Chain A
Amino acid sequence: MISPALLIGPCLVAVGLFGFLTRRNLILMFLSLELMLAGVSLNFVVFGQMHDDFGGQVFSILILVVAACEAALALSLIVALVRLRGTLDSKAWSALREFQFDDQAGTGGRSAEDRIPELAGRAAEDHSHFEGYEDLPKLTPAGLDPQSRPVDSDFKLPDLAGRA
C-alpha cells in the first residue's frame, strides 16, 4: 500500500516550481523554493521509514539546516536589493539580460540586419527605466549569426548611443 505522503512530495515540488516561475515578488519566490525543499524532505522521511532507517530523518534535518541558511542569506540579499531599488519586484534586476529579438513578428520581409535600429529602439525602451545604467556592456543581439555577419568590435546599439 503506497503512502499518500509519497505522492504529496512531488506535488509540493511541482507547486513550488510553478510558484517560483510565475511569482515576481522576491520574497514569495524564495518561499516557493522553501516549499520545494519541504516536499523533498517529506519524501526522505517516508522512504527512510520504509527502509527502517534513520537516514531519511537525518537527511530531512540536513535539508532543514540548508533551508534555514538559505533563508538567512536570501533575506539579507533581499534587504540589500530593496535598499538599492526600493521594490521587491524581480524585474527591477534584469538590466544585464539580453533583449527580445523575435524574428517572426511583423518583420515585413526585411532582413534582421535592416531591423537593427528598430530592435535597438525596443531594447532602449526595455532598459529605459534603469537610469544610470546606459553604459552597461550590451550583448550581441541574438539572432544575428556572428559567423556569417561578424559584429564590429565597436558596435553599439544606435539609440542607446544617442541617449548617452
Chain B
Amino acid sequence: MELWLTYAFCAIAVVLAMAFALIKHPVHAALSFACVVLAAAGVYLLQNAAFVAASTVVVYAGATIIIFMFVLMFAQQTNLLDYDTHKQNPIAAGVVAIALAATVIAVVLKEFPKLEEQLAAKSPVAEVAAADSAEIVKPTEGDVNAELDVKAEPMSLKASDAATDAETEESSADVMSAKADRFTVAKLGAALYTRYLLAIEIAGTLLLVATIGAVVIAQREPKADAQERTKS
C-alpha cells in the first residue's frame, strides 16, 4: 500500500514538473509547481518525515508560491507575452537536462545494491528480523520433510512459502512501525537542538541576514522618502 502511494506521488510529481516546464501561462506553471511540491510532501510523509512534509507545504506551497504569484500579477498585467511563449534553446537545454538526469540515475542504480548490502550488514533490526524469519522457516521445512507425502509435498511447499512470505511481510511491517516510532517529530526536535545545533544556528543567522538584505534591496529610494517626510 505504502509503496503504491509512493509510486503515485512520484508519478504526479514528475508529470506536473514536466507540465511546469512546458506550460506557457506563468500562473498555470506556478500552480503546477505548487502541486509538485504537494506531491513531494506526500513522499516525505511516507518516508516518516512528517515535520519536513508540513514545513514544505507551509513554506513552498504556501508562502513562496503565494508571494511569487503576487509579484507575477503585480508586474505583468497582460496575459501572455512574447517572453512566455518563446523558449530559448529548448533542444540544447533538453539534451543537457536529459544527460544530467540519465547520469545521476545511472550512478544511483549502479551504486544502490552496494549501499543496500552495507546497510543490511550494519542494521541490527534487519539482523534480528532475518534471524526471526530463519527460525520460523526452519520448523515448517522440517514439517514438510516429515510429512514425506509425495502428492501433498508441492502443496505443503507452497503453503510454507506462503507462510514465510506472510512472516517476512509481518516482520517488514514491524520494521516499518519501529522506524516510524524512531522518526517522530519530538525526536527530530531533540536531534535538531543537540547534535545539529550548529546547523540550526546557521539557518537562523541566514534567515536574519536574508531578511535584512531583502528589506535593503526592495527599499525605494530611502533618501527621497525621507525628504518628502521632512517637507510634509
- Nearest CB to that of A77 among chain B residues? B217
How many B residues, CB 8 Å from partner? 84
A16 to B202, CA, bound (A): 27
Q: Is the CB of B191 within 8 A of A54?
A: yes
Return B211 CB to nearest CB of chain A, in Å.
7
In the complex, chain B residues whose CB is within 8 Å of the CB of A69: 206-207, 209-210
Give the bracket for the number of chain A residues in contact with chain B: 35 or more
A24-B96 contact in complex given A11-B101, A76-B217, C-beta closer than 8 Å: no
Q: Is the CB of B213 within 8 A of A73?
A: yes
Q: Is the CB of B72 within 8 A of A27?
A: yes
Q: Is the CB of A8 within 8 A of B14?
A: yes
Mark out the residues of chain A between 75 and 115 whose CB falls within 8 Å of any chain B CB in the assembled complex. Answer: 75-80, 82-83, 87-91
Q: Is the CB of A67 within 8 A of B40?
A: no
Q: Is the CB of A8 within 8 A of B43?
A: yes
Q: Is the CB of B14 within 8 A of A68?
A: no
In the complex, chain A residues whose CB is within 8 Å of the CB of B63: 68, 71
Return B107 CB to nearest CB of chain A, in Å.
9
Cβ of A136 within 8 Å of any chain B Cβ, yes or no, is no
Return B66 CB to nearest CB of chain A, in Å.
11
A-B contact pairs, 8 of them (CB 8 A): A7-B108, A8-B14, A25-B84, A28-B84, A34-B64, A49-B47, A50-B115, A52-B119
Seen from chain B, the residues whose Cβ lies within 8 Å of a Cβ on chain A are: 6-7, 10, 13-14, 17-18, 20-21, 26, 29-30, 33, 36-37, 40, 43-44, 47-49, 51-52, 55-56, 59-60, 63-64, 67-68, 71-72, 75-76, 81-84, 86-90, 92-94, 96-98, 100-101, 104-105, 108-109, 112, 115-116, 119, 123, 179, 182-183, 187-188, 191-192, 195-196, 199, 202-203, 206-207, 209-211, 213-215, 217-218, 220
